């Protein structure tokens, strides 16, 4: 099969969240299984062309929209020409992918509309033989609409929704800027949305298949509580909606090879994990390193349960445990977590995005805190388990599909899922109850270690899910 996989961010070139990890690992796995997969993303200013050997591939073209000329230059990775990049000044010349400190860029509709046109023009001009065009989230969700209403292209289209909370909603005047056909598109079963336009909605109606990143989330988003106002759209399209759980790259997130961590380790060399913990505790000035170490890593947004974490700080400070919080996001949360920097000796807070530090945390921690309000799939819990960490998660979306509570199974080794602690109700009482379970389990060293090693043995790779995608492409 020949697949064109379009995404607005791909690891390691640009990453703001899980989409980048998926857009790297799924194509990579499919390639290993013998498929031809082209990936294509914007060549933002911040992508390091030298470091990654990204070179101009000789193709430059103009595309006129609404009387304006837009120039596109195409680049590729010198070591893998199937990795393509599009440069256009409006799309790429700015700091930040979707927003800066003042909010979302005002021309995001144009930027990602241009990217969508660019992707199709590259496919046509490079004469790529493609069977399936796989698009991701609102940034590329216009592609199936353009294929059907403007280009008359027949390739199969698949849209993956990584998070319903981000839909790409814009005033309807962008229809003209992007020369989208009013008659065939500005309607309920198109991109019309309360007299505005909604790119994700367009993707849902115009794609042949829609997937989302876990089975539970695929059910949840068809209800008003999780559908972010598109639950009716999803119910209408439920015949083509499927949940396929994400995997993680076990090459990238591998405690045996991870170059960011102090001591590489495996189930056989498990002692390495405590060496990492000791050195991290030293580095952060934690006094009692034999205490359990809890970590939180993620975007500071209500989705990730940061309100619960903030509520729980008063408990954390009095517990005989160490806590590390790494993240950044919405101003209000940056500010509130910023106020906690250096305040409590058992709570270390770091505001920012730091890949290296995150790996050290995974390698050292005993428990990962992930009390999400909703979670399409979540990668942190799977990454954490690779490093022998026990996730403490709310029972929602992909967290429900990937983590089993250790008290829900008799024999640890019988569990196909990784084990941790799960709680049903999103509130401080049940979160604290989960912490209490963690303390009690940590007191039983033998059992704790058995579960930790079990988690390291679980297959959270892309192998199974990539095959599911392949079946979908072929269907």
Contacting positions for ligand ADP (CB under 6 A): 17-18, 21, 297-299, 326-328, 353-355, 358, 377-380, 383
CB closer to ligand ADP out of 283 and 449: 283
Asked if 296 contacts 369 with a C-beta cutoff of 8 angstroms, the reply is: yes
Angle at alpha carbon of residue 349, lines to 346 and 350, rounded to 5°: 145
* Shortest CB 62 distance to ligand ADP, Å: 35
> DSSP assignment, residue 68?
E
**DSSP string for 74-130:** EEEETTEEEEEEEE-HHHHSSSSSSEETTEE-TTHHHHHHHHHHHHHHHHHHTT---
Asked if 158 contacts 133 with a C-beta cutoff of 8 angstroms, the reply is: yes
**Separation between Cα atoms, residue 172 and residue 182, nearest integer Å:** 10
* Shortest CB 21 distance to ligand ADP, Å: 5
Asked if 462 contacts 249 with a C-beta cutoff of 8 angstroms, the reply is: yes
**Separation between Cα atoms, residue 418 and residue 59, nearest integer Å:** 47
Angle at alpha carbon of residue 132, lines to 131 and 134, rounded to 5°: 160
CB closer to ligand ADP out of 20 and 120: 20
Query: Measuring CA to CA, which residue among 201, 181, 183, 179 is closest to residue 191?
Result: 201
Does residue 266 sit in helix, strand or coil? coil
Query: Measuring CA to CA, which residue among 144, 194, 138 is closest to residue 166?
Result: 138
CB closer to ligand ADP out of 99 and 125: 99
Quick one: tokens of 116?
């969508």
Asked if 109 contacts 170 with a C-beta cutoff of 8 angstroms, the reply is: yes
Alpha-carbon 236 to chain mean position: 26
* Shortest CB 465 distance to ligand ADP, Å: 14
* Shortest CB 454 distance to ligand ADP, Å: 21
* Shortest CB 469 distance to ligand ADP, Å: 17
**DSSP string for 321-333:** SEEEEEEEESHHH
CB closer to ligand ADP out of 56 and 357: 357
Asked if 144 contacts 204 with a C-beta cutoff of 8 angstroms, the reply is: no
């Amino acid at each position: 099969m020949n697949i064109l996989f379009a995404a607005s961010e791909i690891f390691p070139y640009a990453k703001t969240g899980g989409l980048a990890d998926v857009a790297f690992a799924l194509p990579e796995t499919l390639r290993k299984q013998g498929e031809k997969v082209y990936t294509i993303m914007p060549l933002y200013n911040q992508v390091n062309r030298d470091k990654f050997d990204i070179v101009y591939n000789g193709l430059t073209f103009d595309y006129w929209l609404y009387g304006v000329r837009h120039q596109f230059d195409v680049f590729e990775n010198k070591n893998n020409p199937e990795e393509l990049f599009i440069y256009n000044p409006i799309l790429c010349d700015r700091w930040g992918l979707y927003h800066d400190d003042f909010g979302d860029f005002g021309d995001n509709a144009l930027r990602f509309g241009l990217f969508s046109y660019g992707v199709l023009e590259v496919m046509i001009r490079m004469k790529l033989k493609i069977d399936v065009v796989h698009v991701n989230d609102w940034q590329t969700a216009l592609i199936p609409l353009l294929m059907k209403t403007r280009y008359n292209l027949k390739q199969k289209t698949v849209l993956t929704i990584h998070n319903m909370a981000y839909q790409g909603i814009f005033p309807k005047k962008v229809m003209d800027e992007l020369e989208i056909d009013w008659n065939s598109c500005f309607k309920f079963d198109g991109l019309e949305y309360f007299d505005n336009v909604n790119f994700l909605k367009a993707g849902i109606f115009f794609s042949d298949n829609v997937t989302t990143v876990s089975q539970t989330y695929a059910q949840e988003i068809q209800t008003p509580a999780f559908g972010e106002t598109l639950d009716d759209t999803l119910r209408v399209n439920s015949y083509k909606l499927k949940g396929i759980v994400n995997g993680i790259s076990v090459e990238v997130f591998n405690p045996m090879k991870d170059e960011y961590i102090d001591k590489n380790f495996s189930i056989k060399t498990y002692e390495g994990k405590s060496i990492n913990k000791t050195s991290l505790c030293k580095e952060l000035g934690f006094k009692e390193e034999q205490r359990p170490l809890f970590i939180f890593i993620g975007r500071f947004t209500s989705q990730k349960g940061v309100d619960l974490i903030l509520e729980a700080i008063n408990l954390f400070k009095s517990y005989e445990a160490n806590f590390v919080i790494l993240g950044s996001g919405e101003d209000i949360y940056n500010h509130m977590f910023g106020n906690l920097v250096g305040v409590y000796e058992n709570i270390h807070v770091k505001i920012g995005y730091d890949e290296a530090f995150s790996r050290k945390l995974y390698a050292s921690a005993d428990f990962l805190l992930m009390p999400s309000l909703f979670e399409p799939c979540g990668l942190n819990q799977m990454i954490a388990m690779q490093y022998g960490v026990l996730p403490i998660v709310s029972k929602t979306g992909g967290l429900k599909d990937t983590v089993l509570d250790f008290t829900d199974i008799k024999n640890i080794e019988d569990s196909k899922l990784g084990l941790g602690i799960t709680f049903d109700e999103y509130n401080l009482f049940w979160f604290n109850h989960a912490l209490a379970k963690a303390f009690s389990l940590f007191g039983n060293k033998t059992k704790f270690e058995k579960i930790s090693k079990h988690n390291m043995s679980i297959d959270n790779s892309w192998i199974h899910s990539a095959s599911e995608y392949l079946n979908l492409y072929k269907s």
